[in-house]
A = this chain, B = another copy of it.
């Protein structure tokens, strides 16, 4: 089924001159709906809580979904008690950002690209009636990240098929799929389509990170145990680990400065301190840069 269309679009873009997007204008008036997937309860938060806060502030609807319950990534606690703590942490974080959140009850380290999970994800995207779906590249470093990417790819087309999961309404049209930035090179490096300056939301992002001590503050948190030179004092440790997150967001801005300048113009683009970066996936709707600029907050 369903494969002539997109190819034709690519080959004969000129044959079907895109109407000057009258529907889009109409749509621009109603809030966008974004769903952002993370492998664990802190991944969407790390990769997209800046843009999420900006979207939310502009009246758009954002939902974060953790594909696993994060019940393994700690050096002292695990299982149900850790899962429950993390559900509470991302709920707190969502409150700060002004968005919704959900944590799937799949064991950390056990996310597989099964048909059941494909159906679950397709249903989530359809229920949210998403315009934009975000998630990890299938080349990211952790199997749960990679299989989040695979599941996202595998859901990309079927979300519009009325009879794939017939108990939920399909999306009106194919959403745009965007990957989070990462630094992996095989088989291909991340190439930013959109880089979003998040300075206006940075405080919210840092507050959100601070609301997840099981990840970024505990003596036995993953970061607390795997980073180098981590302070012993609780307060110092939290500040130190938050600082690493800040530096990473600054590094994204630095690494993709050229793209920031292209998107925001030189004046604004050069000033941006913190950024989040996203690559347009090839399997969902192939929105043009102009259309994407209108969809991402603050870019134009």
Contacts and interface: CB of A to CB of B under 8 A. Distances in A.
A248 interface: yes
A261 interface: no
Contact of A78 (B81, B105, B283): B81
A87 B167 contact: yes
A143 interface: yes
- Residue from A7, A83, A156 with most neighbouring chain B CB atoms (10 Å): A7
- Residue from A3, A140, A283 with most neighbouring chain B CB atoms (10 Å): A3
Nearest to A209: B4
Contacts of A7: 182-183, 248
A161 interface: yes
Given A142-B3, A143-B158, A229-B16, A167 B79 contact: no
Interface string A173-197: 0000000001111111000000000
B5 A69 contact: no
A293 interface: no
B83 A167 contact: yes
Given A5-B227, A187-B187, A80 B115 contact: no
Given A10-B183, A143-B157, A248 B4 contact: yes
A33 interface: no
A176 B42 CA distance: 26
A166 B84 contact: yes
Interface stretch (A53-61, A106-114, A267-275): A106-114
Contacts of A183: 7, 10-11
- Which of under 10, 10 to 19, 20 to 34, or 35 or more describes the interface residues of A? 35 or more
Nearest to A252: B11
Interface string A100-140: 00010101111010111011000100000000000000001
Contacts of A8: 227, 244, 247-248
Contacts of A168: 105
A226 B2 contact: yes
- Residue from A1, A11, A75, A108 with most neighbouring chain B CB atoms (10 Å): A1
Contacts of A205: none
A292 interface: no
Given A72-B79, A226-B2, A245-B4, A158 B109 contact: yes
A76 B161 CA distance: 11
A203 B251 CA distance: 51
A2 to B, nearest CB: 4
Interface string A140-159: 11110110000001101110
A182 to B, nearest CB: 7
A142 B157 contact: yes
A186 B185 contact: no
